[in-house]
Chain A
């Protein structure tokens, strides 16, 4: 029994491949916990960053600088009254958010945080991800239908039309990236997520730079399509408040609504992970091949620790700038504690064994975090597309360009 558990530690495959159910479950727990924490952090970051873009402060009261705001929001949503419209189809109403949630969370099975740090490595990884994430469209339509009210239905139909349209362009862009994995000696590509990153490693170039500008354009198409796929600004007409139809989640309140939001943020992180894996080299540190050698490895490996120490420094600066009033004592102490925790994590990340193991996970997460920030930046800056313009962009602009990039990539691949 114990051997079964510890046998995984010396293997160099993912638990799924090693067939080790215990470790697979442990990884699942870690990943789901991590995603949930990430969603809460994303909620806080969105409110704070959006506020700072708009020259205001955002939540400041609930914890020091609003750090406990997501928890307060969660408690509020959990304790809200669960209202179901009288004429609604109860079973469908209940199951719609669950479908979206399951679809968004299931894709985390194949996301590679490192060469062996994935729950499993399906050899059709990317196909699995695209397929399962499409299931959320079903949940959206079910949510709109079950509400038995024509505004949510119109919003749901619009939302699903938008998601389906942009999936086509997304798929084409993904295919062109997959093509690039086959540019090796054996001429066979791979759909497995870990295999794609390893292909980038062996080809010594992140796919975003390959056949410049083709990889870049494919990345750009995917980056735009993924924003539309998750119904985020500037493609958020179906769920915007100032438009006529308030979206498919109008009739949902409390916990059910928070499940929608959880699913949306989880989907955002999932598609960002796809982008990072396919084009930005996954878990590879920057310049893995041009800046080689032990010293460079050491320098880059110090960055996680330095980053956390930097965050701790920012927290302490915030502590210093807190008002010196008795009412703020708890917040000052809280923020100082938070800064201390961050600093501790940073120091732990300097310890060599930890430092080496954490590299892959850190770089992957850092790149995904950049995408999350971009999502918030888009929301603050851009006006909203009108629905017909949104569909026009998806079908008439992104799809032809994606097909063109695919063909050109194939031609370049054959020629070179």
Chain B
């Protein structure tokens, strides 16, 4: 089961041979069951067709596209600045990261550098957003597995982050926080105090979540050994983010190819060993703590200075193309922008981490039970807005 597709790439199948249902389900051994597209407490409109033998999953097929909004087509008819708000809606849970990736990509294309103060503000807000995204993940993942209470605890604590966002840019979820060239808004009076208060507020809460789940016997039984994927299978399937790190590959774009002031901070990259759901849970919990560490360093050292670089009012990047990717909470989020010299991009391609991670679902649930499918979808941390764009 480990390294299955690295040894035999042709064995990676992501569709089911459905064929004709000629036997009633009581006669045949195999049962085709449809999950979704609408189901409670999951992460959007995702349809998974399962082929079961009793309770065991023989194969799955994901049907996506229910949330496809044609973002890439829209991009070709908007100017670079006009496209910025659309980018938030791709992964609506971690909107700030999306904005960061896009603004940095266009800045590279325009060959401008955001000033240091803007970079620090960007880092603080992006790490806060990573915390918010992981908290939402934890609440919904625990709810899928049956623990109802962590959902409310994480959402209550996430409120504090959303309050900071609201005070900063007026929006909680789809923040549109950054502009091409830097940040539009200066930090409000009391921003540093709020962030510092939050940094002290959160660690006991993370301990509280861990107390409820990490050593809980039932949680361990539901997550240990479930949804295993090996490191080489992850790489072969293009899976990135906490899923890759939990399988043992110590790779994080913030360290490997630093962007936006990350090279100035000191933080660790948590990795797991066995690549199962429990390791992914531990990796994300530790990532939350490391994010707090980054924010603490950033807030103490914010430099003074301008927050916006000199960017022409009418942005016409020179002809060329660029690929820029960042470490979003869910994995490698990339923007491939082709410019033809006009004010509107010629082609924008968003490389969504959830889309590529979701491919791995089939491999991770083969041979496991039906109840594990939901646990694995939760642990992949997919957001359908990103999968479908």
Chain A residues close to B by CB (< 8 Å): 50, 53-56, 150, 233-234, 236-237, 240-244, 379-389
Complex contact A386–B148 (CB within 8 A): no
- How distant is B240 from chain A, measured CB to nearest CB, in Å? 27
Q: How many residues of B contact A (CB 8 A)?
A: 34
Complex contact A242–B218 (CB within 8 A): no
The answer to whether residues A385 and B221 also contact, given A55-B153, A237-B371 and a CB cut-off of 8 A, is yes
C-beta contact mask, B349-389 vs A, less than 8 Å → 1, else 0? 00000000000000000000111111000000000000000
Complex contact A380–B149 (CB within 8 A): yes
7 contacts between A and B (CB under 8 A): A150-B31, A242-B143, A380-B148, A381-B147, A383-B142, A384-B222, A387-B371
Chain A residues with CB under 8 Å of B31's CB are 150
- How distant is B202 from chain A, measured CB to nearest CB, in Å? 16
Complex contact B25–A150 (CB within 8 A): yes
Complex contact B145–A56 (CB within 8 A): no
C-beta contact mask, B184-226 vs A, less than 8 Å → 1, else 0? 0000000000000000000000000000110010110110000
Chain B residues with CB under 8 Å of A50's CB are 148
Please pick, from A233, A242, A389, the residue contacting B221 in the complex, using a CB distance under 8 A: A389
Please pick, from A53, A383, A384, A388, the residue contacting B369 in the complex, using a CB distance under 8 A: A388
Chain A residues with CB under 8 Å of B25's CB are 150
Quick check: which of B34-42, B231-239, B289-297 contacts chain A, the rest being far away?
B34-42
C-beta contact mask, B26-38 vs A, less than 8 Å → 1, else 0? 0000010101000
Please pick, from A236, A242, A244, A386, the residue contacting B41 in the complex, using a CB distance under 8 A: A242
**Cα separation A381 to B146 with both chains bound (whole Å):** 9
Say if the beta carbon of B144 comes within 8 Å of chain A. Answer: yes
Say if the beta carbon of B55 comes within 8 Å of chain A. Answer: yes
Chain A residues with CB under 8 Å of B148's CB are 50, 54, 379-380
**Cα separation A380 to B212 with both chains bound (whole Å):** 11
Say if the beta carbon of B156 comes within 8 Å of chain A. Answer: yes
Please pick, from A53, A244, A383, the residue contacting B145 in the complex, using a CB distance under 8 A: A383
Which residue from chain A places its CB closest to the CB of B373 in the assembled complex? Answer: A244
Q: For chain A, what secondary structure do more than half of its interface residues adopt (helix, strand, loop), or is it mixed?
A: loop
Complex contact B222–A55 (CB within 8 A): no
**Cα separation A153 to B372 with both chains bound (whole Å):** 20
Could you list 19 further interchain pairs (A-B, Cβ under 8 angstroms) beyond the known A382-B146, A383-B142, A386-B221? A54-B151, A54-B152, A234-B146, A241-B41, A242-B40, A243-B370, A243-B371, A244-B370, A244-B373, A381-B147, A382-B147, A382-B218, A384-B145, A384-B222, A385-B146, A385-B222, A386-B372, A387-B371, A388-B369
Complex contact A234–B218 (CB within 8 A): yes
Chain A residues with CB under 8 Å of B221's CB are 385-386, 389
Which residue from chain A places its CB closest to the CB of B375 in the assembled complex? Answer: A386
Please pick, from B40, B156, B218, B370, the residue contacting A241 in the complex, using a CB distance under 8 A: B40
**Cα separation A13 to B108 with both chains bound (whole Å):** 92
The answer to whether residues A55 and B371 also contact, given A242-B143, A244-B33 and a CB cut-off of 8 A, is no
Complex contact A55–B219 (CB within 8 A): no
Complex contact B144–A54 (CB within 8 A): no
Complex contact B149–A53 (CB within 8 A): yes
**Cα separation A383 to B41 with both chains bound (whole Å):** 14
Complex contact A385–B149 (CB within 8 A): no
**Cα separation A93 to B160 with both chains bound (whole Å):** 50
Complex contact B216–A382 (CB within 8 A): yes
- How distant is B95 from chain A, measured CB to nearest CB, in Å? 26
Complex contact A56–B147 (CB within 8 A): no
The answer to whether residues A381 and B149 also contact, given A150-B25, A386-B369 and a CB cut-off of 8 A, is yes
Chain B residues with CB under 8 Å of A384's CB are 145-147, 218, 222
- How distant is B384 from chain A, measured CB to nearest CB, in Å? 17
User: Which 6 A/B pairs are nearest by Cβ-Cβ distance?
Assistant: A384-B146, A54-B152, A383-B147, A383-B146, A386-B371, A383-B145
The answer to whether residues A240 and B212 also contact, given A383-B219, A385-B222 and a CB cut-off of 8 A, is no
Chain A residues with CB under 8 Å of B213's CB are 383
Chain B residues with CB under 8 Å of A53's CB are 149
Chain B residues with CB under 8 Å of A234's CB are 146, 218
**Cα separation A383 to B156 with both chains bound (whole Å):** 20
Please pick, from B152, B222, B372, B374, the residue contacting A242 in the complex, using a CB distance under 8 A: B374
Complex contact A240–B146 (CB within 8 A): yes
- How distant is B154 from chain A, measured CB to nearest CB, in Å? 11
Chain B residues with CB under 8 Å of A244's CB are 33, 35, 370-371, 373-374
Complex contact B374–A55 (CB within 8 A): no
Which residue from chain A places its CB closest to the CB of B368 in the assembled complex? Answer: A386
Which residue from chain A places its CB closest to the CB of B50 in the assembled complex? Answer: A244
**Cα separation A227 to B142 with both chains bound (whole Å):** 21
**Cα separation A240 to B147 with both chains bound (whole Å):** 11
- How distant is A255 from chain B, measured CB to nearest CB, in Å? 24
Complex contact B218–A383 (CB within 8 A): yes
Which residue from chain B places its CB closest to the CB of A158 in the assembled complex? Answer: B55
- How distant is B21 from chain A, measured CB to nearest CB, in Å? 12
Chain A residues with CB under 8 Å of B372's CB are 386
**Cα separation A241 to B216 with both chains bound (whole Å):** 22
- How distant is A126 from chain B, measured CB to nearest CB, in Å? 30
Which residue from chain B places its CB closest to the CB of A233 in the assembled complex? Answer: B146
**Cα separation A50 to B149 with both chains bound (whole Å):** 9
- How distant is B355 from chain A, measured CB to nearest CB, in Å? 24
Which residue from chain A places its CB closest to the CB of B143 in the assembled complex? Answer: A242
Q: Pick the most buried of B42, B143, B152, B153: most chain A CB atoms within 10 A of its CB.
A: B152
- How distant is B52 from chain A, measured CB to nearest CB, in Å? 9
Q: Pick the most buried of B142, B143, B146, B152: most chain A CB atoms within 10 A of its CB.
A: B146
